[in-house]
Structure 1
């Protein structure tokens, strides 16, 4: 790659994604050609390797590159990709995210009900520490915030004592993580559900299953309503 362009202040991942899209559009790498390694791209662009990985993941999700574990990342045959506008691609991503949230809501509501009956004082302390970490990351690095948020929810699902619910959460987590990072990075109007998180913890601490279910539903419905509204506006 030639001289690396400088990146502006602000979220790095969307800038990297935009830059790599432009380079693909300019056919810097041909169809079937392997991209430079994450390490090399990070060095040439002056960014962290994790940021490059997230940008590549977004490109792969849109079918622009093919990530082959153990072999590298390859440019797809761009002529075979449907000529959808970015709004259409985003709409499809939001539809998939809404479906994942519907599954998430069902499993987390039941997990909260079970966790309220089984939680111990030491579990409450661990949840409180996890929630504190989530709150400390609000407004910071999107990936770190989303990871902390999902860690809090995962801990509650684990407290349900139901291995099937834990397994289901682990299945949808990668989908949620990628989509939420994008939303946190790009969307300024995302609902603030911090109070709902605190309400979930308070209900669990009291052992109040009904309140835990209600708070969990309120928490997730806020984001689901945002996604539905976005889809309706397009």
Structure 2
């Protein structure tokens, strides 16, 4: 089966962008110019450009024209975050936890070796805020949980790792709302105790530059997270 003309146009424009015929931020030809170049209707060209725009390759500025998107870490993360937010994968949370189990123990070990005094101060401040967080304030506790894992990743002193982990960490609030909400299977007391215990142990291992212990405690923490999620899924089945 032959490809639709709009898809062929999309692929050709994408090829020209990837081959650096147009640099980031550069203005592309107009719709009329593309119509002449590809001997195509305005509808086909518009569909191609619309698809490129939705994929983040081009930016359409009303009254100005079409430009090659200027890529940045923020724009890349925005696309990944959007994908995760819109995903209807029922196993997304579990798969995210599994992914974290692959990466975060190693990151914690790196943090123990590379942390600075500033990193330690930030982690200690986070723990103090968590201690003072009211038991019923799941939103605040979730924000502090997210901040803690982000601070550990920052302490690893690898900017690439930090960028890659950001969209994964942004799923933590979704997970916590389900598992630790008012209808979740984990009591507020158990939730707070486990979070405090593991965060404190991870912090102490990083403080002591004990990479093996930091690795182990982070791994145990995420195994506990997985068990909590599976308990939540089981509770849903029982309710049905």
Q: TM-score, normalised by structure 1?
A: 0.56
Aligned match of 2:225 = 223
**Which runs of 5 or more residues in structure 2 are unaligned?**
1-84
User: Which has the larger Rg?
Assistant: 2
Q: Distance in 2 between matches of 1:124 and 1:197?
A: 13
| d(CA) in 2 for partners of 1:148, 1:170 | 15
CA deviations over 1:86-118 (Å, ceiling 9, x no partner): xxxxxx64x321111111222211111111111
Find the counterpart in structure 2 of residue 168 from structure 1.
164
Task: Kindly indicate whether the alpha-carbon contact (under 8 Å) linking 1:107 and 1:165 is maintained by their aligned counterparts in 2.
Answer: no
Distance in 2, matches of 1:62 and 1:98, equals 13
Shift of 1:141: 2.3
Structure 1 residue 188, shift from structure 2 partner = 4.8
Question: C-alpha displacement at 1:219, in angstroms?
Answer: 1.1
Cα RMSD over matched residues?
A: 2.4
Gapped runs of 5+ residues in structure 1? Answer: 1-59, 64-91
Given candidates 186, 189, 207, the residue that maps to 1:189 is: 186
What is the CA-CA distance between 1:142 and the residue it aligns to? 1.8
Structure 1 residue 105 and structure 2 residue 88: aligned?
no
Task: Tell me, in whole angstroms, the C-alpha distance in 2 between the residues paired with 1:115 and 1:200.
Answer: 10
Displacement of 1:126: 1.6
Equivalent position SS for 1:181: helix
Query: How far does residue 119 in structure 1 lie from its aligned partner after superposition?
Result: 1.2
Of residues 210, 213, 222 in structure 2, which corresponds to 1:211? Answer: 213
8 Å CA contact 1:134, 1:152 repeated in 2:
no
TM-score of the two chains, using structure 2 as the length reference: 0.55
Three-state SS of the structure 1 residue aligned to 2:186 is: coil
Q: How many Å separate the matches in 1 of 2:122 and 2:224?
A: 25
Equivalence for 1:141 = 137
SS of match in other structure, 2:166: helix
Q: Is 2:119–2:151's contact at 8 Å kept on the other side of the alignment?
A: no
